[in-house]
């Protein structure tokens, strides 16, 4: 799981809100994890 900060700590809810830069950071974590996995195979 990859977690990013959400406004007021609310997650898994329709009012969940995260800043674009936090979403970008989470996507980068996923990207680099996938690239590392691809190289290891």
Query: pTM above 0.85?
Result: no
pLDDT in tens, 1-41: 999 999 999 999 999 999 999 999 999 999 999 999 999 88
Within the chain, what is the greatest distance between any pair of CA atoms? Answer: 40
Q: Are 8 and 21 in contact (CB under 8 A)?
A: no
* Alpha-helical regions (H) of the chain: 20-40
Please report the pLDDT score of residue 40 as a whole number.
Answer: 86
**Tokens 């190289």 appear where?**
39
Q: Which residue has the tokens 């680099």?
A: 32
For the chain, domain boundaries? 7-39
Whole-number pLDDT of residue 36: 96
Contact 16, 4 (CB under 8 A): no
- Cα separation of 36 and 14, whole Å? 33
């Amino acid at each position: 799981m990859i977690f990013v900060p959400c406004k007021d700590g609310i997650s898994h809810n329709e009012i969940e809100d995260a800043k674009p830069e936090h979403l970008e950071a989470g996507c980068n974590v996923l990207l680099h994890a996938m690239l590392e996995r691809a190289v290891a195979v």
